[in-house]
Amino acid sequence: TPVHQSERGHLHAAAVTTLLAEGRAYWCSCTSDEVKARAEARGGTPGYDGHCRDRGLGPGAGHVVRFRVPDTGSTAFDDLIRGHVSFENANLEDFVIQRSNGSPMFHLANAVDDAEQGITHVIRGEDLINVTPKVLLLREALRTPGELIFAHLPLIVNEKRQKLSKRRDDVSVGDYIDRGYLPEAMVNYLATLGWGPSDGIEIRPLAEIVAMFDVADVGRSGAFFDVKKLQHFNGEYIRALSVPQFVTRSTRWLFEEAPWPPDRFDVATFEVLAPLVQERVKLLSEVPGYVDFVFAEEPTIDEDSWQKVMVKGADLAAAVLDHAIAGFTDCDWTTAGLDVALFSYADTHGVAKGKVQAPVRVAVTGRTVGPPLFESLEVLGREETLRRLRSARARL
Assign 3-class secondary structure to the chain: CCCCHHHCHHHHHHHHHHHHHCCCEEEECCCHHHHHHHHHHHCCCCCCCCCCCCCCCCCCCCCEEEECCCCCCEEEEEECCCEEEEEEHHHCCCCEEECCCCCECHHHHHHHHHHHHCCCEEEEEHHHHHHHHHHHHHHHHCCCCCCCEEEEECCEECCCCCECCCCCCCCCHHHHHHCCCCHHHHHHHHHCCCCCCCCCCCCCCHHHHHHHCCHHHCCCCCEECCHHHHHHHHHHHHHHCCHHHHHHHCHHHHHCCCCCCHHHCCHHHHHHHHHHHHCCCCCHHHHHHHHHHHHCCCCCCCHHHHHHHHHCCHHHHHHHHHHHHHHHHHCCCCHHHHHHHHHHHHHHHCCCHHHHHHHHHHHHHCCCCCCCHHHHHHHHCHHHHHHHHHHHHHHC
Give the C-alpha separation, 155 to 218, whole Å: 11
Among the listed residues 134, 166, 229, 282, the single catalytic one is: 166
Task: Look at phi and psi of residue 73 and say left if phi exceeds 0, alpha if psi is from -120 to 50, else beta.
Answer: left
Decide if 166 is catalytic. yes
Q: How would you class 329 by CB atoms within 10 Å of its CB: exposed for 0-12, middle for 13-18, buried for 19 or more?
A: exposed
Which positions are catalytic? 166
